[in-house]
Amino acid sequence: MNYKKIMILALAGTLACGTVLTGCGAADMEKTVATINGQQISLGVANFMAQYTAVDYDTYYMSYFGQNMWSSDPSGSGETMTDTVKNNTLESLEEFYLLEQHMEDYQVSLTEEELAEIQAAADQFVADNTEEALEKLCDGNVEYVKEFLRLNKIQKKMREAMIADVDREIPDEECAQKTFSYVRVSKTAPGTDTENADELTDEQKAAQAKKKAEQILKDALIGSEEDSLQAAADANDANKSSCAYGTDDLVEETNSTYLELEVLQKAEQLKEGAFEKNLIETEKYFYIIRMDSLFDKEATERERESIIAEREDARYEELLTGFKETADWSINDKVWEPINFDTLYVKAQTQTETTGDTGASEESSASDAETKEDSQK
């Protein structure tokens, strides 16, 4: 999970659509939680970043991990979810402030207009949320929200500058993609005799799966429909899918298609529009395949963009790692340790409806606050 992307998008969404957050609690936010090259980082900014992330975790993961989510160790690494969010928050802060300290190296700065937009966005965020939520999120201090937005703006502009010299010229031969359609039948599916499925042996299930796959292949080969493979799949209670692949995918170590290598190798032998006339059997499946395009323009462009994105990410991480290697970074564990996520945040999105031609609007919002302990009663 990319914590920074989730966090930034969540905040941007809040400022754009008026999401209301509710919660409670407060702490002393004036202390220094970390220092980077002598620059002090306030607990208030760190807490805001961590608490805002907790909003999304409460919203999206509580239903999966339950009320004890924050003390759980879902990955089995010995690190609780609380530890994960707090560690990621500090890592992000280290990166953000390092990027700020290297702004002059890339002739990056924030304009007066950008600073004014940040102030307006922070003010709007405060206006959109309850006092209880703001007390927990940012100690009621708009400056912490503004600092977070300022750091994100710097990060965006610095990243653009740091990856500006990346080579984006990708020749077709490096990113060319072929596309084939396939129907896959699992050897462990119940088979046609669903009433007695539990009584079937693995060999019997595989035999039924093969029979089904053979029928699909037969129907597809003799079909007169425009898409005979789709028709054959529909007629035999199966699904047709497609796979785009390139030269790198024909090697086990670089295969990124999630299909078995032998399937790709069979596809590679086909002419455009041709079926593999025999079933392809792998350890778990039977496949029926048809080559659709020997040069899929759309898939090729997606691959080109993917390669460019990988190059950009690699360049950015390379430079950022260099910044970290020479940085003096320290954390005040005693200041950071008390921060927790004991408040259950509830996100309620303000809905606006425009009525008639007058431009009048009606707004409604749900705003509930409760502690996790209360919710367990």
Q: Which residue, of 234, 259, 293, is where some domain finishes?
A: 293
**Please, which residues bridge with residue 281 across strands?**
286
pLDDT-based confidence at residue 192 (cuts at 50, 70, 90): low
Q: Please tell me the predicted confidence (pLDDT) of residue 197.
A: 64
Residue 304 lies in a domain: no
CATH of the domain at 83: 1.10.4030
- Over range 7-12, report the average pLDDT: 35
pLDDT tens digits, one per residue of 291-317: 999 999 999 999 999 999 999 999 999
| Helix, strand, or coil (residue 355) | strand
Nearest-angstrom CA–CA distance, 42 and 34: 7
Residues 146 and 258 in one domain: no
Q: Please tell me the predicted confidence (pLDDT) of residue 350.
A: 41
What is the identity of the amino acid at 222? Answer: I
| Helix, strand, or coil (residue 185) | strand
Q: Please tell me the predicted confidence (pLDDT) of residue 351.
A: 37
Nearest-angstrom CA–CA distance, 180 and 60: 36
Residue 302 lies in a domain: no
Query: What pTM does this model have?
Result: 0.77
Residue 58 lies in a domain: yes
**pLDDT above 50 for 93:** yes
- Over range 150-161, report the average pLDDT: 97
Residues 135 and 69 in one domain: yes
pLDDT tens digits, one per residue of 14-49: 443 344 555 444 458 889 999 999 999 999 999 999
Residue 352 lies in a domain: yes
pLDDT tens digits, one per residue of 343-355: 777 654 443 333 3
Q: Please tell me the predicted confidence (pLDDT) of residue 372.
A: 38
pLDDT tens digits, one per residue of 247-275: 999 999 999 999 999 999 999 999 999 99
Neighbours of 216 (CB within 10 A): 24
Residue 173 lies in a domain: no
Residue 97 lies in a domain: yes
Domain that holds residue 257: 178-293
Residue 145 lies in a domain: yes
- Over range 60-76, report the average pLDDT: 86
Q: Please tell me the predicted confidence (pLDDT) of residue 207.
A: 92
Q: Please tell me the predicted confidence (pLDDT) of residue 346.
A: 64
Tokens read off for 349: 């999105």
- Over range 98-110, report the average pLDDT: 98
Tokens read off for 356: 């008639």
Which residue bears the tokens 């959109």?
128
How many structural domains is the chain composed of?
Answer: 2
Residues 277 and 361 in one domain: no
Q: What is the DSSP string of 8-34?
A: HHHHHHHHHHTEEEE--------SEEE
Mean pLDDT of the chain: 85
Neighbours of 33 (CB within 10 A): 23
